[in-house]
Chains A and B, each alone.
Chain A
Amino acid sequence: MDSIAKEIEIKESDINIFGFWVYLMTDLVLFAVLFACFIVLRDSTFGGPTGAGLFQVSSVLAETLFLLTSSFTCSLGTYAIHRKEKNQAIIWFAVTFALGLAFLYLEISEFATFFQQGATPSRSAFLSSFFTLVGTHGLHIAIGLLWMVVAMFHIGLRPLSPHSISKIFRMAFFWHFLDFVWIFIFTVVYGMGLLNG
């Protein structure tokens, strides 16, 4: 009986992970729409600020560095879960959380400087699509951070079952996925924006 229950549990975790992949693909489609809008509208600056005029290489590089490193530490966290080392896992996820928070802080202060320069979402189609695309990614990061807190409580307070391990893996997938999307934002939005200027 016990082994059957365990087998069912593992099978269910497998279904949950596959289901989560499917969800991530739908999220990717959502981002694809935002990217398409950005690419179509990037030159519609309507006499307002352009990407090259606004973007700061240093802050974008710092954001990228934080996010890429956080993906690495997140992997170390899941690796610790694999080895059932709870404390290590919590430490690595806490580091990931701190890096994610730093990323979010930089992004918000970047947006704040843009606003000060009069570059608001309602200024031009380019800025609407920029803020929507990057802001949607930032919102996802905030959700990921919240999820990470819940996951850390989970690890700290409860025994590791196949069920809860699969939950933590899904959280990690989500985090890596956001990293993946960021690489495209970095290239398409910031990189090409700076080069075109």
Chain B
Amino acid sequence: MENFLSGKLSLEELPQHWYTVGGTAFMLITGILIVILLKKTKRWGWLWNEWLTSTDPKKIGTMYMIFAALMFFRGMVDVGMMWVQQSFAADSRGYLTSDHFQQISTAHGDIMVFFVTMGFFFGLMNWIIPLQIGARDLAFPFMNSLGFWLTAAGGLLINFFFMIGGEFANTGWIAAAPFSELEFNPGVGVDYLIWSLQLSGLGSLLAGINFTVTIIKKRAPGMTLMKMSLFVWTSLCGMILVISVFPVLTATTFLLWLDRVFSMHFFTTGGGGNQMMYWNLIWMWGHPEVYILVLPAFGMFSEIVATFSQKKIFGYVSMVCAAVSITLLSYLVWLHHFFTMGAGADVNSFFGIVTMFIAIPSGVQVFNWILTMYKGRVIFASPMYWVIGFICIFMIGGMAGVLQASPPADFQVHNSLFLIAHFHSMIIGVALFGIFAGVNYWFPKIFGFKLNERLDKQAFWFWLVGFFVSFIPLYLLGFMGAPRRLDHYALSTGWQPLFITSTIGFFLIVCGIITQVWQIFVSIKEKKQHLDRTGDPWNGRTLEWATSSPPPFYNFAVIPTITSHEEFWSMKKRGISIQKHYEDILLPKNTGMGIYISGIAFVVGFALVWQVFWLALLGLFGVVACIIILSLDENREYVLPKAKVAEIERMR
């Protein structure tokens, strides 16, 4: 509150360290190159009309994917810097200062969770859920666009400290109080964290509401809940978690900000504040968040296993029950993140036992996947590789989780690299492997051609071997007592060889990522040889394969009536194709409002980081004005006449 006009901003905040100058230069040069490219190819109008303002879930899904992939590179650079530091920092300070190392670590966590994993999942859901439930768009197409752009604004803000401020939070990804309070963290790093999470959290919340309502209200006729495919089921579970816990994140980080800016005392060390309140609240969001990151992946594995085993999923009903019980149990386990808080034996036992319970539905799912393969005619297409790799890693990571569910054992490995290895087994082994499997599986549906499978299998081996080489040493180091976020250590600990091994694993993973990028280039180049003209490249079972690849922008010319949870399979068996009796179709118009509102929201976020309150207020008025203008516009849809539909269908 130093200065009314510029808040905490001053010229000293411009880039001056090697990493901020580098980051700024990178962002500016990339931006300028993109602008030049667009200008040369005269693609401005195309980009704006066809993509940025689109309300088509398939296109928003693709934008989510591209955004998540960009953030993934940022997150990987971060973790590479950390691993290299740890390999060298035995009896030396390494090349990073402790503070810088902690900032990188925080940024890595937040980026990977909020922008990469959730970004990819929202992308895949946008691609596939409307197709699997036989809908033409989501319940709220505009809100979908707004949700994406808010997430993107959050992503920009989390990178913006490179340009102005030069400092990110050094608190760890959950911004643990009281360390994140003003007393210990007077800079703006924590504020950058808070406001980028506020923006992206709001985006996720909107997406969560949207998908929940879409799945509940917009299913094709005949599709009862127990006729939904498993990806739709697990996504519904994940989205219900999103809408019930993301408000907790919003509230908690907002209270932290109030503490920092208005000297309130929610989580401070003085004034009667209660720090453990922060831990309880953040993990009441944080633990369900873990299941938000894995449940949709479980659904994808179920789809892929059934398709490539050429058999229906084993135990459909038990799969649904397992997903729902995981959802319910996930609300009741948050305290296992801080058994060491000293809540007493009774409380710790309760949460320990409930945590162990989660192993039961998870085990049901694993057995069902294995039993689906059993006596099936398994085709080892590349998505299937990821599924099998996932089951191996999930076993190890899951066992490590059950081990830590026991409070006495947890006391030994609390905040150690063992924990890091455990949750990376979950996030890489389940969420990322699920994403890679899902992208390879559904890519032909969205773009009309298959990705190169040989390169995908190569990438898989790099990832799988790289994963074990980098994380098994972390399990061992954790047992030896190496804490998380360790920026230097004594040579006499004997840890250095394990850290170096772990870093070698990281470079194997990097080879995997390079292979994947190369795979996409090669696939686009060889597009013509891998075109999918049938709309059903894998002999699929669920409804999305019933339409052409890529689907027309209205998804289905005629919405089918559903009779089973493997609708397309039963259609194929009965030899029924979709009727050709067309009707008028009502579709949402494109709108730029999502970008405008998110752009203003970005300015508000930036202004609040730097406490430029007049700008933030002005921005809030702008957002309110946009919403009022939007509410006055009643013609947000257009009718596609049936003659036109028939014409488009004839042309295909």
Contacts and interface: CB of A to CB of B under 8 A. Distances in A.
A15 B244 contact: no
A40 B205 contact: no
Contacts of B270: 46
Interface in A57-86: none
B18 interface: no
Interface string A13-32: 01100110011011101100
Contact of B247 (A4, A15, A27, A124): A27
Contacts of B245: 29
B248 A33 contact: yes
A132 B218 CA distance: 38
A25 B245 CA distance: 11
Contact of B265 (A4, A8, A30, A125): A125
Contacts of A122: 262-265, 271
A40 B277 contact: yes
A99 to B, nearest CB: 22
Interface centre among B217, B251, B270, B274 (most CB of A within 10 A): B251
Interface string B306-335: 000000000000000000000000000000
Interface residues of B, number: 44
Interface bin, chain A: 35 or more
B217 A33 contact: no
Contacts of B216: 18
Contacts of A4: 583-584
B628 A150 contact: yes
Interface in B174-198: none
A161 interface: yes
A25 B243 contact: yes
Contact of A22 (B209, B273, B281, B583): B209
Given A30-B250, A33-B281, A15 B139 contact: yes
A40 B243 CA distance: 24
Contacts of A25: 243-244
A19 B213 contact: yes
A49 interface: no
Contacts of B246: 26
A88 interface: no
A19 B205 contact: no
Interface centre among A25, A27, A37, A154 (most CB of B within 10 A): A37
B262 A1 contact: no
Interface in A124-159: 124-126, 128-129, 132, 146, 150, 154
Contacts of A36: 281
Contact of B272 (A8, A18, A44, A154): A44
A125 B209 contact: no
Contacts, number: 112
B274 A22 contact: no
B247 A26 contact: yes
Interface in A102-133: 121-126, 128-129, 132
Contacts of A125: 264-266, 268, 271-274
Nearest to B583: A4
Interface in A28-60: 29-30, 33-34, 36-37, 40-41, 44-46
A22 B243 contact: yes
B631 interface: yes
B212 interface: yes
A21 to B, nearest CB: 9
Contact of B586 (A8, A14, A19, A45): A8
Interface of B: 139-140, 205, 209-210, 212-213, 216-218, 243-248, 250-252, 255, 258-259, 262-266, 268, 270-274, 277, 281, 583-584, 586, 624, 628, 631-632, 634, 639
Given A37-B255, A122-B264, A125-B264, 20 more contacts: A5-B586, A18-B216, A19-B210, A23-B209, A26-B246, A26-B247, A30-B250, A30-B251, A41-B273, A44-B265, A44-B272, A44-B274, A46-B271, A121-B262, A121-B264, A123-B271, A128-B259, A128-B264, A132-B255, A167-B631
23 contacts: A4-B583, A14-B217, A22-B212, A22-B213, A22-B243, A25-B244, A29-B248, A37-B281, A40-B277, A41-B265, A41-B274, A44-B265, A44-B271, A46-B271, A122-B264, A122-B265, A123-B271, A124-B272, A125-B266, A125-B273, A128-B266, A154-B631, A164-B634
10 shortest interchain CB distances as A-B pairs:
A44-B272, A125-B272, A128-B264, A122-B263, A33-B251, A46-B272, A29-B247, A125-B265, A30-B247, A19-B213
